[in-house]
Amino acid sequence: MKVAVKDVSSRITVEEALTLPCLSGARLVAGEQGKHHVIRVVNIMEVPDIVRWMRGGELLLTTAYPLRDDADGLSALVPGLAERGLAALGVKVGPYLPALPPAMLKAADELGFPIVELPADVMFNDILSEVLGTVLNRQALELERSRAIHEQLTAVALNGGSYQELMNVLLELSGCAAAVLDEQGWVLASAGSPAVDTPPSAACTIKVGAVDRGRVGLWTDGGDPADHQLVALEHATTIATMVTAQERAVASREQRYRTLLLTDLVSRRPRDRSEVVRGAPRWDGTSTPPEPRCWWSSPTPPANSRWPNRPSRTSSYPLSGAPSDRVRSSGVSRPASRCWWSPVSR
């Protein structure tokens, strides 16, 4: 069953936070260029050396009480917060700080670091609960969306789907043209008519072990891919990696079977004719090959003999490839075995 995936951003920016009821009276007074900064968490400033405790993405709230009499200290605070990657600084004006220093606002404008002026009657607890609650709710929606995407793409793999089916589902989930490319950049499957002669808007590498085996790409109509499109791309790449690893394992196993069959034909007489018949399909991967006949230790091939899936030829094809007509096995000299195949009419 398909799950509807809502296109809702999992992040909240400074500009979006200012639309929340708890910040209805707040104003962005400086650093407007940074209004698209993403808020990861909300924190409160209690000490002047708060910068060293910041990790980035915070909306930092303060009454400026520790620096209420130090305008230069407030101005010097802005570059440090911007360097740490904070989302914005919210300062309550009124109780301890009558106005924001002009030098502080100028520094914020130059750095593109948002400073929000908070009204005196706003409660930090209200801001903490509403902004942080919005962040957590959107993260929960993002996890649910990621799970839905993963389930739909995993269903393709569990049902034995091909690269093409995988790309069809990725197109449906992301709304973008998509393609699977091999190591040389050749298209293995695509959906939505991607412009494969141009670089994709986003791509993830298909890595099997430590070797790159290709990539999955998305082509948007313009701009960067949205969060849900990147999530779908990552999950699709995981499934494509599983399919690639499985295909390579099957190809390796088939090659091993061919090698073992060839070695058996050259080195010993089969104990049972049906043994050769069972192994014959592995030469070309068909499930119902022509029943083979095999002549052993013959110096010349029978008339009309041939290799499987090759036209009839009169020259001999010794399977052993030995330079001599005699080989040694367990110390006993014997003629080299040769085998020619001929289909039998059903």
Average pLDDT over residues 269-294: 55
- In the predicted model, is pLDDT for residue 5 greater than 50? no
For the whole model, what pTM was predicted? Answer: 0.55
Q: Do domains 12-132 and 160-250 have the same CATH topology?
A: no
Q: Of the ranges 118-127, 230-239, 256-265, 326-335, which one carries the lowest mean pLDDT score?
A: 326-335
Across-strand partners of 203? Answer: 217
Q: Report strand pairing: 58-62 vs 38-39.
A: unpaired
pLDDT of residue 248: 78
Q: List Cα–Cα distances, 112 to 5, 10, 30, 79, 255, in angstroms.
A: 34, 23, 8, 10, 61
- List the domain boundaries for the chain: 12-132, 160-250, 271-344
Calculate the average pLDDT of the chain: 77
pLDDT at residue 32 greater than cutoff 80:
yes
What does the pLDDT average to over 116-135? 92
The token duo for 140 is 């929960």
Three-state DSSP at 332 gives: strand
Average pLDDT over residues 218-247: 86
Q: Which of 93-97, 289-293, 307-311 has the highest mean pLDDT?
A: 93-97
To the question of domain 160-250 being in CATH 3.40.190.10, the answer is no
Strand 88-92 versus strand 58-62 pairing type? parallel
Strands (E), 159-200: 177-181, 187-191
Q: Is the pLDDT of residue 225 over 50?
A: yes
* Cα gap 337→315, rounded to integer Å: 16
Q: Nearest-CA neighbor of 59 among 76, 35, 75, 95?
A: 35
Percent of the chain with pLDDT over 90: 33
Q: Which fold has domain 12-132?
A: 3.40.1390
Band of pLDDT at residue 31, cut at 50, 70 and 90: very high
**192 burial class (0-12, 13-18, 19+ CB within 10 angstroms)?**
middle
In the predicted structure, residue 27 carries a pLDDT above the cut 50 = yes
Give the model's confidence band at 258: pLDDT under 50 very low, under 70 low, under 90 confident, else very high: confident
